[in-house]
Structure 1
Amino acid sequence: MTRFIANARMYSVTPEVEESWKVLLGNVLAMAGADFDYVPYPAPKPLEVLWEREDLGCVFMCGYPIAFQLSEVIPIAAPIPSASWSQGKPLYRSDLIVRKDSPFQRIEDTFGHRIGWTVEHSHSGFNALRYHLLAYRRPERPTLYGEVHGNLITARGILDKVLAGEIDVGPLDAYWHDLIRAHRPDLTDGIRVIGSTDLAPIPSFVAAPGLPPETIGKLRSAFSAAHRQPWFAPLGQTLRLAGFAPVELSDFERTLAWDREARAQGYAMIA
């Protein structure tokens, strides 16, 4: 009999934050009557390998690969960030960051300089940024940047490269940014946000197709009710969470629409 796993790697910005995720997931799983093993999967291990596992029971996955079905998974529930920009919905955006001491004030100021992105299957680190840049391309200016540094893997990779002065601008998942700013302000004191992308569906907890539908239904109900439980408030404060919302595959269609638009305009890769 399959023993299913849980994991919150995408938003485990520090070991202490991951411990809070473990506690929260343990409470949600108990409410659902599910007994999963929390299995750590630290960066920079490739998330696409994790997402291919047949024992996924409750694991964070980015909405873009959910939408184009990089792996066959079933979305369960997505976090609702407590930040005002989420509008009380399971949405997020990408913050476009530069060094605090840089001369750049707008994204347009960075054109001709150096930009970075994480991985091609990332919404916050690639797809959202690419779609955002479409508005600035012109027939006489199809290429916006002098240098493009790709495959920086993680949001932390973007942050570190900006702080080190190795790229001039890069995208940060705004929920990840909110978490790291709350728990490691020493890492964010040296950056500024010069813009943000439009809102899109935030990463969701997903399960492999082998998880029984009855369990998936119970998990959706448990996540939806989590914010009303006495244990939620301190964890919600630590994790910058207002609660969770149940999600379906169709909820992530917006990310595919952004991909189609970029490709239709001949902008498959950031340049």
Structure 2
Amino acid sequence: MQHTQPFLSHCRLRFLVMMAICLLPTCFLSCSRDADYKKVDFTQKTDNEKKDSTPVREPLRVAVAAMISPKETFIYYREIIDYIGAKLNRETLLVQRKTYGEVNGLLARNGIDLAFICSGPYVMGSDTAGFSAIATPVIHGKPMYQSYLIVHKDSPYQTIEDLKGKTFAFTDPDSNSGSLVPRYWLKQLGTRPEDFFHSITYTYSHDNAIMAVAKQLVDAAAVDGHYWEYYQQRNSYYSGKTRVIKQSEPFGSPPIVVSNALAPDLKKALASILLHMHEDPDGRRILAGLMIERFEKPRAEWYAPIRAMVSYLSQNDGTHGDVPQKPEK
């Protein structure tokens, strides 16, 4: 049903959106397996370990930014992280942070070893945050993804221009699909989100952005197309209440990166595990659960459109200018 009440003030809307998102039941998945995990104090040693002079290896620290909300992140990524640990015969420690910037900061400080990050933070931080990409997921036969601009299925909006004066949800400030792309679209129109929309908010995950639109807490949002398609196929309770009105051109999919501080042999081992994961029955099963066919070695040209877009957005003239990208699909 379309909204008919007057728009709320920016502050009140932002508060209500975030409170409602926090209280929404997580219907994407039927159950949580948090109880399967126990906290382990790696500083404690057993009697056998105390007698053994062999140095105890530190756990592999794996970070996941909040591309999806915390509970779903835990469920989605626990199997792949456990798989990597089993192949290395090494304990793994899952590290979660709210923003992509926090994960980049951990990589820069050598606070983590491996990370699942967004394409935007990869492009913007790889030169300064001290990490390199080792694997890119292939989905539907391509190592690429798109940003989807979504609205409620019953809304009258058909184009981005129709959203002028409406309410909008970004995901993370550094997200490619959830922030950079819609900002780029608006700059092509000669405007900014702060001027174009009635109000904006941040959900800090793609599933929360989808839910916000489905619940009509906001009029529109930009999300990772892979996640929207995943929910459409696996559990469309919320995504089915939305529809896509615009898609970006393809970009290199969010890569898996490793800290440059890791030993070369460990980097090589991690890359090999991921790039050959689809050849192993157990690995193939885990990938299928994530709708990933396999991982491929990243190529710089896959991420070149993001670099061009970031460069275009850094121009502060506020005009249309020459857009250094391919035409929209």
Q: TM-score range, shorter-chain basis?
A: 0.7 to 0.9
Equivalent position amino acid for 1:266 in 2: D
Evaluate the alpha carbon distance shift between residue 249 and residue 199 of structure 1 in structure 2; reply closer, same or farther with a 3 A threshold. closer
From 35, 40, 56, the equivalent of 2:90 is 35
Tell me which residue corresponds to 1:25: 81
SS in 1 for 2:246: strand
Tell me which residue corresponds to 2:238: 187
Equivalent position amino acid for 2:131 in 1: V
Preserved contact between residue 68 and residue 205 of structure 2 (Cα < 8 Å): no
SS in 2 for 1:185: coil
Query: Is 1:161 aligned to residue 219 of structure 2?
Result: no
Equivalent position amino acid for 1:65 in 2: P
Preserved contact between residue 209 and residue 221 of structure 2 (Cα < 8 Å): yes
SS in 1 for 2:196: coil
Preserved contact between residue 214 and residue 242 of structure 2 (Cα < 8 Å): yes
Q: Distance in 2 between matches of 1:146 and 1:202?
A: 28
Q: Distance in 2 between matches of 1:16 and 1:149?
A: 25
Equivalent position amino acid for 2:92 in 1: D
Q: Give TM-score scaled by structure 1 length.
A: 0.81
Preserved contact between residue 7 and residue 59 of structure 1 (Cα < 8 Å): yes
Where in structure 2 are the equivalents of 1:94-243 lying within 5 Å? 94-135=147-188, 137=189, 145-243=196-294
May I ask how many residue pairs the two structures share in their alignment? 257
Task: Give structure 1 stretches of 5+ with no counterpart.
Answer: 83-87
Task: Give structure 2 stretches of 5+ with no counterpart.
Answer: 1-56, 320-329
Query: Relative contact order (alpha carbons < 8 A, sep ≥ 6): 1 or 2 greater?
Result: 1
From 113, 117, 121, the equivalent of 1:65 is 121
RMSD over aligned CA atoms reads 2.9
Tell me which residue corresponds to 1:85: none
Preserved contact between residue 68 and residue 208 of structure 2 (Cα < 8 Å): no
SS in 2 for 1:264: coil
Query: Could you report, residue by residue, the CA deviation over 1:199-218 in whole angstroms, capped at 9, with x for unpaired residues?
Result: 11121111222211221122
* Runs of 4+ deviating beyond 6 Å: 141-144
Equivalent position amino acid for 1:59 in 2: A
Q: Which has the larger radius of gyration?
A: 2
Tell me which residue corresponds to 1:49: 102
Task: Give identity over the alignment, percent.
Answer: 19
Q: Give TM-score scaled by structure 2 length.
A: 0.68
Q: Distance in 2 between matches of 1:38 and 1:12?
A: 19
